Chain A
C-alpha cells in the first residue's frame, strides 16, 4: 500500500521541488479523471445516502412528507425486538456463509491450481452458479428443499432419514439459505483466488524445495502470505455482501413463512418497513444502523489486515 508515496520520499530534494511544480497539472488531470465517477456517484448514490441519514431523524407521512423528530426513531430502535432479532440473524448469516464459503473457494482454487487433468471442466462447472440468474437459483433450490416433492428429502429417505422442512423449520431455514449463498458464490471467489495463486512466482516454491520445506510449511510460509492481499479482498467483499443480504431471504423465505423471524436480515426488515409498511423514516434508521455496523466491521478488518496481510 502507498508505494507511490514511499517512492516519492526517496527522490532527492531537488527533484521533489520540480515535481511539486508539476503538481498543479497533475491535480488537474486527476480531477478530470475522477470527475465522471464522482459526479455520477454523487447524484446516484451519495445524495440518496445523505437524504437517508436525514430521514432517519424524521417521521414520515404520506408521499414524502417528512417531519423532524430528532432521535425518536433511534430510541424506538432500542426497544424493537424485531430489529435485534434481525441484527443477530444478519450476523448469523455472515458467520454461517463467509468463513465456510471462503474456505471452500480457497480449497477449490488450490486444487485447481495443481497439475491435474480436466481442470477446465471442473473450473467450468464450478463457475456455473455465478452465471445463473438469482431468480432461477432461488427457484431451483426452493424446489430441491421442498418437503413434499423435494429431491433432497427424497434422497435422504433412502437412508431412512425423515428430512426436515429445509425452508420452513426454524432450526434449518437460515442454514439452508446460507448453503445456497455459499453454493452460488464459490465460483466467484474462486476466480479471484485462483488468479492470486497463479500470480505467485514459481521461483519461491523452487527455493523452498531446495531448502527441503514440506508442503505444509510451503503453504503457510509462501502461499498464504503471498495470497493474503487477494484473500483480504475476497473476505472484505464477502462480508459486506453477507451483511447486506436480501435477495435470497426475499425469494426463498417469502412473507407468509413463519420462519421469517429466523431468517429476516436487516435489509429485509428495512424493505418491509420502507416499502410494505411505508414507514420510510424508521426504514432509514435501520439502514443507517446497518451502515454503521458495516463500517465498523470493515474498519476492524482493515485494522486487522496489518497482522496478516502482506503487500510486497
Chain B
C-alpha cells in the first residue's frame, strides 16, 4: 500500500513537471525536405477559399506545406499581439488597415515592397491603388493586397414594390433616399425605411465623406470630426432616427441587429459590406427579397472601402518560402481561385468576374463598381485607441444622450490628442 502511494505521488509530480517540460521537443516536426509555414486568418467564412489557394500552392510547390490557422476577429489580434511579444509570430498572416501602422512602426513585418520591386512577375499596379496605399508606411510597403470590400445599399424589393417606389440607383442622393425612407416607414407597425447602424464603416463614415467631410486628414495629423461638413453629415444621420423617425433607435438595433431587422422585414434598407453578402444569400428571407445598389450621394459619391493584405513576419525563419506563398496568393491565378470561393472580392485587377458570377442572387456588381470613387477606411497609428473612444461617443450621440455638435467636437479633441503622439 505504502509503495503504491509513493508511486502515485511520484507520478503526480512527474506529470506536473512533464506538463511544462514536455512538448518542447515536439515543436514543428517537419517531414524531411519539406518546410511548413503557418498562415493565420480571422474569417471562418473565408477558410474554404483560403484552403483552396493553399492546395493549389502546395501542388505547385511540393516542398512547402502551409498550415491554416483560423480565429475570430477579436481573438486574432489578441493572439497576434501576444505572439509578437513572444517572438513567435505566424509566418504569413492577414493584415488590416487599423493595425498596419502599429506592426510596421515596430519593424514586425517584412518590407515585401522591396521584393516586389525586384521581382519581374510582381507589380503593385495590378491592385487597386487605394488598397496598396493602406499598407504603404513612409514609402515602404508591408503587404500584398488580398481583397477589397466596399459598402453598398441593400434593399427589400418587395417592400419597395408594395410602396410603389422605384428601386434605388446611382441617381439617388440623400434627399431622394430620405423621401423613400419616409414612404417605407410605418412606425405604428414598427416598420422603418432605413437602419442607421451605429457602425463607422457600415454607417456614418460613408455619410461624412459623401458630404465632403473627412474623418482624418491625409497627413494623419488632424481629425475632421469637427468640420462643418462632418457635423452636418452626423446630424443628418442622427435625424434619420430622432427627427424623421425613419430608422429604429440605437437601442432597438442593439437588441435586434440591423441585418436581422432587415431580414425580419422591419427595415427596408440598410448598408451592407461586401463581405456580408454570403450571409444574405444563406438566409431564406433575404435570398428572395434583397438586392443591392450603390450608396446614395450628396456633395459627391463615396463608399468606404478597405482591403486586407497578406503580410510576412519580419522574424520568420522561412522568408523565402513565405515570400513564395504570399507571391502566389497575389497572382492572378491565386485571386481567381479566391474569387470563385465567393467569400471576398479578389484584389487583382480583372479577376472580379468569377466573384460577381458566383453571386447570382443579387446585383453584386455594384460593389466592384464603387471602388472607382471609394474612400479608404480612415486609420492611423493610434487608430485602435481613438476609434474605440469615437465609437463610444457616437453611440451616445446617436442614442440622443449627447448633442451632435458637442459630441463631434469631443471626438475631434480626443482624436487630436492621440494624433499628436504619433
Contact = CB atoms under 8 A, between A and B. Distances in A.
Direct contact of A and B (CB under 8 A): yes
Interface of A: 32-33, 35-36, 39-40, 43, 62-64, 145-149, 165, 167-169, 253-260, 272, 275-279
Nearest to A168: B251
A35 B12 CA distance: 10
Given A35-B13, A63-B81, A148-B264, A256 B199 contact: yes
B84 A276 contact: no
Contacts of A32: 9, 13
Nearest to A261: B396
A148 B190 contact: yes
Contacts of A36: 12-13, 16
B315 to A, nearest CB: 12
Interface residues of B, number: 37
A282 to B, nearest CB: 11
A168 B20 contact: no
Contacts of A272: 388
B16 A40 contact: yes
Given A148-B190, A258-B396, A169 B251 contact: yes
B160 to A, nearest CB: 22
A264 B22 CA distance: 41
Contact of B256 (A33, A40, A146, A260): A146
B255 interface: yes
Contacts of A259: 251, 254
A33 B5 CA distance: 12
Interface string B392-420: 00011001010000000000000000000
A148 B266 contact: yes
Nearest to A254: B254
Nearest to A258: B399
B48 interface: no
Contacts of A165: 251-252, 255
B384 A277 contact: yes
A148 B20 CA distance: 51
Contact of B251 (A33, A39, A43, A258): A258
B74 interface: yes
Contacts of A254: 254
A196 B199 CA distance: 51
A153 to B, nearest CB: 11
Nearest to B385: A277
Contacts of B12: 36
Of residues B20, B105, B388, B391, which shows the largest number of chain A Cβ atoms within 10 Å of its Cβ? B388
A5 to B, nearest CB: 26
A190 to B, nearest CB: 31
B85 A64 contact: yes
16 contacts: A35-B16, A63-B108, A145-B255, A147-B255, A148-B190, A148-B264, A148-B266, A149-B264, A165-B252, A168-B252, A256-B253, A258-B250, A258-B251, A275-B78, A277-B388, A278-B384
B106 interface: yes
A260 B261 CA distance: 21
B108 A256 contact: no
B105 to A, nearest CB: 7
Among A36, A62, A147, the one with the most B-chain Cβ atoms within 10 Å of its Cβ is A62
B16 A63 contact: no
A62 B396 contact: no
Nearest to A65: B106
A262 to B, nearest CB: 11
Contacts of A145: 255
Nearest to A40: B16
B198 interface: yes
Contacts of B255: 145-148, 165, 167-168
A260 B106 CA distance: 34
Contacts of A167: 254-255
A257 B16 contact: no
Contacts of A63: 81, 84-85, 106, 108
B358 interface: no
B63 to A, nearest CB: 32
A256 B254 contact: yes
A169 B251 CA distance: 7
Contacts of B252: 147-148, 165, 168
Contact of A62 (B17, B105, B401): B105
A277 B105 CA distance: 18
Nearest to A167: B255
Nearest to B17: A39
B254 A258 contact: yes
B102 interface: yes
Given A36-B16, A256-B395, A62 B102 contact: yes
Interface string B227-269: 0000000000000000000000011111110000100101000
Q: Which of B12, B250, B255, B401 has the most CB of A within 10 A?
A: B255
Contacts of A278: 81, 384-385
A215 B264 CA distance: 56
Interface in B72-113: 74, 78, 81, 84-85, 102, 105-106, 108
Nearest to A32: B9
A279 B401 contact: no
Contacts of B17: 39
Contacts of B20: 43
B106 A62 contact: yes
Contacts of A168: 251-252, 254-255
Q: Which of B17, B81, B85, B251 counts the most chain A CB atoms within 10 A? A: B251
B254 A276 contact: no
Contacts of A256: 198-199, 250, 253-254, 391, 395
Nearest to A37: B16
B406 to A, nearest CB: 16
A256 B105 CA distance: 30
A-B residue pairs, 3 tightest by C-beta: A257-B254, A168-B251, A64-B85
Contacts of A279: 385
B251 A148 contact: no
A62 B84 CA distance: 10
Interface in B92-140: 102, 105-106, 108
A276 B388 contact: yes
A308 to B, nearest CB: 39
Nearest to B198: A256
Contacts of A258: 250-251, 254, 395-396, 399, 401
A152 to B, nearest CB: 12
Given A39-B16, A165-B251, A258-B250, 14 more contacts: A64-B85, A147-B252, A147-B255, A148-B261, A149-B264, A168-B251, A255-B391, A256-B198, A257-B254, A259-B251, A260-B395, A277-B385, A278-B81, A278-B384
Contacts of A148: 190, 252, 255-256, 261, 264, 266
